[in-house]
């Protein structure tokens, strides 16, 4: 259900705002901005045709946040400079995810047909701690890396709304599977967001709108990281290949389809846990097997 908070309109995403969609925001200041256009294609088209859009802001570069960006060709694109490169070409996009050569072909058709991918260059870089006056709406940019290097959350001053972006407080937990994602930066960003006083919290997925402080969700959301660590260490009581770790389904908890998609997700997130464990001296890798140290 759409919700309006003064000039800020919450536009719920298809599939309850879950992947491959997200919730969007439409901000009606003197400058009219759509944030993360991947909610509902016809609703976004209607907003464009009837109310107007001057610019599109992407909280980060992931496909479930730019799905309907093609509707806004000719409008300015705003994004962090740290997240702009993956939008330049499909190969840059795949590189940023760290996809292997074999993992790319199943995604190519999907990127064009489902996510309407077209190369885009940023028209304006959103800077950390920048304050943007949209005319009647003042927005503070909060750099919250970890999910992606340039992930940006937003605080709407007059409305006291905190847009969390993909730190969405869902039971799935955080995603940090890109080449430049970082587990510790993710934890730091979540902790930064939870210290900000607000009246309304808006997340990109799941429930979406919280009109009271979501205090009972912050800890479980971060605790998912520890649970993944614990389950992985338990599985590494015997040396394991990456293929065996992927098949264990620590992240997604069961087999899901399409297999190529979920295999990639398992590998991407487990790789981050293994990198972190190796740095801590908890795990070693001999070129084929991961084993507890």
Give CA angle at 206 (273, 232), nearest 5°. 20
pTM across the whole model: 0.96
List where CATH 3.60.15.10 sits in the chain. 3-218
Q: Where are the beta strands (DSSP E) in the chain?
A: 3-5, 8-11, 24-28, 32-35, 55-57, 76-79, 124-125, 131-133, 138-143, 152-156, 161-165, 200-203, 209-210, 283-285, 290-292
Indicate the pairing of strand 3-5 with strand 32-35: unpaired
Sign of CA dihedral 256, 260, 261, 265: positive
Q: Which pLDDT value is given to residue 120?
A: 98
- Give the whole-angstrom CA distance, residue 118 versus residue 100: 21
One pLDDT digit (tens) per residue for the chain, 293 residues: 999 999 999 999 999 999 999 999 999 999 999 999 999 999 999 999 999 999 999 999 999 999 999 999 999 999 999 999 999 999 999 999 999 999 999 899 999 999 999 999 999 999 999 999 999 999 999 999 999 999 999 999 999 999 999 999 999 999 999 999 999 999 999 999 999 999 999 999 999 999 999 999 999 999 999 999 999 999 999 999 999 999 999 999 999 888 889 999 999 999 999 999 999 999 999 999 999 99
Q: Which pLDDT value is given to residue 19?
A: 96
CA 197 to chain centre: 22
Q: Which pLDDT value is given to residue 194?
A: 98
Indicate the pairing of strand 200-203 with strand 290-292: unpaired
Q: Which pLDDT value is given to residue 16?
A: 96
For the domain with range 3-218, which CATH number is right: 2.60.260.40, 3.40.630.30, 3.60.15.10, 3.40.50.920?
Answer: 3.60.15.10
Nearest to 178 by CA among 88, 44, 60: 60
Please check whether residue 213 is in contact with residue 201, taking contact to mean a CB–CB distance below 8 angstroms.
yes
């Amino acid at each position: 259900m759409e919700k309006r908070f003064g000039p800020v309109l919450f536009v719920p995403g298809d599939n309850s705002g879950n992947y491959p969609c997200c919730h969007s925001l439409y901000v009606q200041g003197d400058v009219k901005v759509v944030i993360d256009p991947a909610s509902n294609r016809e609703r976004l088209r209607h907003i464009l045709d009837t109310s107007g859009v001057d610019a599109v802001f992407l909280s980060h570069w992931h496909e479930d946040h730019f799905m309907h960006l093609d509707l806004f060709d000719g409008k300015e694109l705003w994004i962090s400079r740290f997240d702009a490169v993956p939008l330049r070409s499909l190969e840059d996009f795949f590189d940023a995810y760290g996809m292997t050569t074999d993992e790319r072909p199943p995604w190519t058709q999907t990127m064009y047909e489902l996510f309407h991918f077209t190369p885009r260059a940023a028209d304006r870089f959103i800077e950390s701690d920048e304050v943007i006056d949209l005319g009647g709406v003042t927005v503070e940019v909060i750099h919250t890396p970890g999910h992606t290097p340039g992930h940006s959350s937003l605080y709407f001053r007059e409305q006291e709304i905190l847009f969390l972006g993909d730190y969405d407080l869902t039971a799935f937990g955080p995603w940090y599977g890109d080449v430049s994602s970082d587990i510790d930066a993710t934890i730091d960003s979540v902790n930064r967001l939870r210290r900000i006083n607000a009246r309304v919290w808006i997340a990109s997925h799941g429930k979406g709108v919280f009109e009271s402080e979501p205090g009972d969700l912050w800890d479980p959301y971060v605790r998912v990281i520890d649970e993944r660590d614990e389950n992985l260490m338990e599985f590494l009581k015997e040396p394991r290949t990456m293929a065996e770790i992927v098949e264990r389904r620590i992240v997604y908890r069961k087999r899901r389809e399409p297999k190529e998609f979920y295999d990639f997700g398992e590998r991407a997130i487990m790789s981050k846990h293994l990198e972190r464990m190796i740095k801590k001296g908890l795990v070693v890798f001999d070129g084929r097997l991961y084993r507890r140290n």
